């Protein structure tokens, strides 16, 4: 029997709060990544390749654990998964604050990554229970980014006064505070008329969904690969640590505004136009961004980049959630996104060490262009269906 919410608006609000609390753990860590890695590099003299490897280990752990949630997304309690993820995340962040060798840092980042991945998988599966996944993701990005901006304004001074350990302690306490807020994640599939299994579809439908998953991985690789070194790029333009933090905060606010705009106007714009515009802007600005030589060029380009990334995330992730109301495809998407995010920092570190920032920009620009082409089929299909629930996946028995 179908469960009916007496107040759909309140139900959506509760889902959004819980999604911000659980998926936000990964978002806040990602937003703070350049400042925290920069602080590590200054305090314990890590090489660019080691910085990239730390990011890769953390994000690979997120990918594995988020994908592991997928088989249980429609049948098990998402609240239990999210609480376990918060606990593991807090343990990993606090351990990172307490250690100072590369080997122990690697272990602690893997632990935190597992926790963030479990929470992310549960949260993204929950979004599929919403009637308007793009709207939920847009509001999530807007709220998370506003909170992330406050974090970015706080961290530079905190790191300057107390070292990178203070930053990770802050992230650990945020994970602890998130535990009571994840209780509104749907404990099981609310849409009982939705099919059981994502990815058990006929071949034509798989061919529509799979390119969008690859596009999501490419967005994440581009985002995290660039974001990992944004602090170093900003410092090279002459910005002070506080100036870099302010630039990151401004860019994050721009992303928040873009996500909020998409949440409000998404239905009017359709699916295809925001996808094409966001990927095109990402492709166009990334090389000028990474080779910026002055704050006057660095800050505006970072704002455009951040806003475009947030729009691309909202529409590709929302489209995948719309494609499978059971939530399994969304949980898989969380893992796929993290695979891309894991590849990004490591590949970026190797390219920067071997050939410099311009080659990094060319590599990321290629990823963005490929992501544009791969994201179009699902956007067009769902637009033509005229429904937020475009693909229908059948159970595999």
Report if residue 182 sits inside a domain.
yes
Helix (H) / strand (E) containing 195: none
The tens-digit pLDDT sequence of the chain (397 residues) is 344 444 666 777 777 888 888 888 887 887 787 778 777 777 777 777 787 788 778 878 887 887 777 667 556 778 888 899 999 999 999 999 998 888 899 999 999 999 998 988 888 777 766 667 767 777 777 777 778 778 877 888 888 788 888 889 999 999 999 999 988 876 555 444 444 443 444 444 556 788 999 999 999 999 988 988 888 888 888 888 778 878 887 887 777 777 667 666 555 667 788 889 999 999 999 999 999 988 888 989 999 998 899 889 888 888 887 777 666 777 788 778 878 877 888 788 889 888 889 999 999 999 999 999 999 888 888 777 654 444 333 323 2
DSSP calls for 28-77: HHHHHHHHHHHHHHHHH---HHHHHHHHHHHHHHHHHHHHHHGGGTTTS-
Domain that holds residue 299: 8-385
Report if residue 3 sits inside a domain.
no
CB atoms within 10 A of CB 278: 27
Report if residue 396 sits inside a domain.
no
Report if residue 390 sits inside a domain.
no
Is the separation of the CB atoms in 55 and 346 below 8 Å? yes
Place of tokens 């953390």: 58
Question: Residue 275 corresponds to which tokens in the numbers above?
Answer: 């996808």
Q: What is the CATH number of the domain that holds 83?
A: 1.20.1250.20
Domain count, the chain: 1
């Amino acid at each position: 029997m179908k469960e009916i919410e007496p107040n759909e608006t309140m139900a959506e609000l509760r889902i959004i709060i819980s999604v911000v609390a659980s998926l936000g753990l990964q978002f806040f860590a990602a937003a703070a990544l350049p400042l925290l890695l920069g602080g590590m590099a200054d305090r314990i003299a890590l090489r660019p390749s080691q910085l990239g490897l730390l990011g890769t280990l953390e994000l690979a752990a997120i990918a594995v654990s988020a994908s592991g949630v997928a088989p249980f997304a429609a049948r098990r309690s998402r609240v239990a998964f999210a609480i376990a993820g918060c606990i593991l995340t807090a343990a990993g962040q606090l351990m990172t604050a307490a250690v100072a060798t590369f080997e122990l840092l690697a272990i602690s980042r893997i632990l935190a990554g597992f926790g963030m991945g479990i929470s992310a998988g549960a949260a993204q599966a929950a979004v599929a229970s919403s009637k308007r996944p793009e709207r939920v993701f847009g509001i999530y990005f807007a709220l998370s980014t506003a909170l992330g901006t406050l974090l970015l304004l706080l961290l530079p001074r905190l790191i300057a006064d107390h070292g990178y350990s203070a930053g990770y302690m802050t992230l650990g306490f945020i994970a602890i505070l998130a535990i009571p807020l994840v209780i509104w994640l749907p404990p099981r599939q609310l849409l009982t008329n939705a099919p059981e299994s994502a990815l058990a579809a006929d071949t034509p439908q798989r061919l529509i969904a799979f390119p969008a998953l690859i596009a999501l991985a490419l967005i994440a690789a581009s985002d995290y690969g660039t974001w990992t070194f944004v602090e170093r790029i900003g410092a090279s333009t002459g910005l002070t640590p506080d100036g870099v933090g302010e630039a990151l905060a401004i860019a994050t606010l721009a992303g928040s505004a873009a996500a909020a705009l998409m949440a409000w106007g998404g239905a009017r714009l359709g699916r295809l136009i925001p996808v094409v515009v966001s990927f095109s802007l990402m492709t166009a600005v990334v090389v000028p961004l990474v080779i910026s030589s002055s704050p006057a060029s660095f800050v505006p380009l970072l704002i455009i980049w951040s806003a475009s990334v947030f729009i691309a995330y909202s529409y590709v992730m929302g489209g995948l959630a719309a494609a499978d109301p059971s939530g399994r495809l969304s949980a898989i998407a969380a893992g796929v996104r993290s695979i891309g995010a894991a590849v990004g920092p490591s590949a970026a570190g190797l390219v920067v060490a071997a050939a410099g920032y311009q080659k990094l920009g060319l590599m990321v620009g290629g990823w963005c262009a490929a992501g544009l082409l791969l994201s179009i089929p699902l956007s067009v299909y769902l637009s033509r269906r005229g429904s937020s629930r475009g693909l229908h996946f059948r159970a595999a028995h």
